[in-house]
Amino acid sequence: MIRTISQSERLDILLALALVFRRTNEDAGQTAAELAEKSFSALSPQELETLQTRAALFDRMPPKNRQLWQSFWLDKIRRRGRSARLDEHINPLQTVEALKNEPPTIQLLILRNLAPETRREVAASLGVEDFFETTDAEAHAPTNEIVAAVRQKFLSYFVALEDVYEPVALDKFTIAELSGFIRMLGVRETATACRAIHSKETLAAFLNRFDEESTRQIVHYITEMEKVKQFWVIQAEKLLRETWSPALEPDELLRVLGLKLLATAMSERDETALRYTAQKLAPREAQMLLEYVDEIKINLASASDEEKSNLNKRRKTIERLAIKFIQSGKIES
């Protein structure tokens, strides 16, 4: 478990567990900060300092808030890996993927508990819509024990928002908003790369590859980002060249670029947050996102301090764009 969570979540879990096991007379009167220093001296100096800071914050809370904080973490620890509900923002194709190898009886049991619109789409993809409409639900009702077991197995494929530690703007997207944001990132990166093209004729020839709406959006960002630093223009051009392929349709190119940039923003998130974002995508794009994140992590192992710093700047830029995207309520089709 510890390897799949963020450092902040890991330290809060350690602190919560230490407070639970503060049972002896020797430990009973200690503050959380004192307990952290005594119990976790084996941590690295940086981690110990962070843990002591979080423990000091706990000590300053009113007694009621401290109790709520402990209850929250103990409940979160108990529930980890066992979602209590089906999140409303799951791509229907991900539901199809989870059910496609299940027997029809299991498929129908799950389908009956989905929202009507999602149920129709998933049933059609599974090819069971006719059987679903003509099956007598009461005559084939399984026992409560079977329903509970099937439900828990199905829920284990997915993550709910409350399972994500300290959600950020990227986690607040609906399926449609995430799709629009990915495309916007691709359009914006293409526009940034276009600033390296100094010939109007060459720029026009390049933009002619895209449809009218995509061209309009790219030109909009070219004019909007007049003050973009040359470093980011070079980086965008490099990413565009690496991604470009004759096999990719122009709209696919924009989405792949967007996915690669989203992976940059997700590269330091924990597994739960990554799963939560991936489940909003179609299975193929979800797999691409996970692969891009893995690639970034591998490259980081040998990256220079300057490269790590640039990656961090890029990540923060994308996080800011996500906040602006939500505030604007803009969904690019």
Element (H, E) at 34: helix 32-39
Instruction: Say what the pLDDT of residue 28 is.
Output: 60
Instruction: Say what the pLDDT of residue 192 is.
Output: 95
- Integer Cα distance of 331 and 293 in angstroms: 24
Instruction: Say what the pLDDT of residue 56 is.
Output: 87
Instruction: Say what the pLDDT of residue 3 is.
Output: 40
What global pTM score does this model have?
0.75
Q: Are 38 and 301 in contact (CB under 8 A)?
A: no
Distances (CA, A) of 75 to 34, 155, 173: 24, 18, 25
Element (H, E) at 314: helix 305-328
- Integer Cα distance of 35 and 81 in angstroms: 28
- pLDDT by residue for the chain (333 residues), tens only, comes to 334 456 677 777 778 777 777 655 455 667 888 877 777 777 788 888 888 888 888 888 888 888 888 887 777 666 665 566 889 999 999 999 999 988 888 888 888 888 888 988 999 998 887 665 555 555 455 667 777 777 878 888 898 998 887 889 999 999 999 999 999 999 999 999 999 998 999 999 999 999 999 999 999 999 888 788 999 999 999 999 999 988 899 999 999 999 999 999 999 888 889 999 999 999 999 999 999 999 999 998 889 999 999 999 999 999 999 999 988 876 543
Angle at CA of residue 216, ends 228 and 175, nearest 5°: 85
Q: Are 280 and 91 in contact (CB under 8 A)?
A: yes
Instruction: Say what the pLDDT of residue 331 is.
Output: 53
- Integer Cα distance of 301 and 170 in angstroms: 25
Instruction: Say what the pLDDT of residue 79 is.
Output: 62
Angle at CA of residue 241, ends 326 and 219, nearest 5°: 50
User: At how many degrees (to 10) do helices 32-39 and 7-20 cross?
Assistant: 100
Q: Give residue 136's identity as a one-letter amino acid code.
A: D
Alpha helices by DSSP H, 174-270: 175-194, 200-207, 212-224, 230-243, 250-266
Residue with tokens 């229907």: 92
Query: In terms of Cα–Cα distance, which of 249, 273, 312, 68 is closest to 169?
Result: 273
Instruction: Say what the pLDDT of residue 141 is.
Output: 57
b (16+ CB within 10 A) / e for 278-289: bbbbbeebbebb
Instruction: Say what the pLDDT of residue 140 is.
Output: 54
